[in-house]
Amino acid sequence: MINDETMLVIAEWVARGFELAGIAAIILGALLAMGRLAMDSLRTKRTEQEEEDSIARFRRMLGRAILTGLELLVAADIILTVAVDPTLESVLVLGLVVIIRTFLSFSLEVEIEGRWPWQKGRERTRDQ
């Protein structure tokens, strides 16, 4: 049977893993988005519309990477707060962090989709 101290160590390692995954998701997503933008920019004879589409695609890819990273970072914070340091102060700090990250996620989602979540809008194709 696993004792409490071992469980805390495991929870800390799991949380750190989620934190690393969140950071990696943001970095990898940013690099992929920049690579895609660079590839699009290397094409010759591009129209103004193609240029705008490339920038919009870059912003969507980057926004999705940031959203994914934020979700993983929130998961790490929840694990750390619930399992490792379940004090009232840490729960309040977690609540504030979740509120801020939720606002950021909501803002990024609006930026990516180009509309409020409750509005019916144009359907995006899979590659956009």
One-letter amino acid at 66 equals I
Please name the residues in contact with 72: beta carbons below 8 A apart, sequence gap of 6 or more.
18, 19, 21, 22, 25
Q: Which two tokens stand for residue 20?
A: 């690393």
Q: Which two tokens stand for residue 76?
A: 């790490």
∠ Cα 68 70 74 (to 5°): 120
- pLDDT, position 126: 46
Average pLDDT, consecutive stretches of 10 residues, N- to C-terminus, the chain (128 residues)? 84 94 97 93 80 87 90 88 80 84 80 74 50
**Alpha carbon separation from 49 to 22, 39, 55, 59, 66 (Å, rounded):** 33, 16, 10, 15, 26
pTM of the model: 0.75
Tabulate helix, strand, coil % of the chain (nearest 5). 80, 0, 20
- pLDDT, position 118: 74
- pLDDT, position 15: 92
Domain range annotation of the chain? 4-113
- pLDDT, position 5: 86
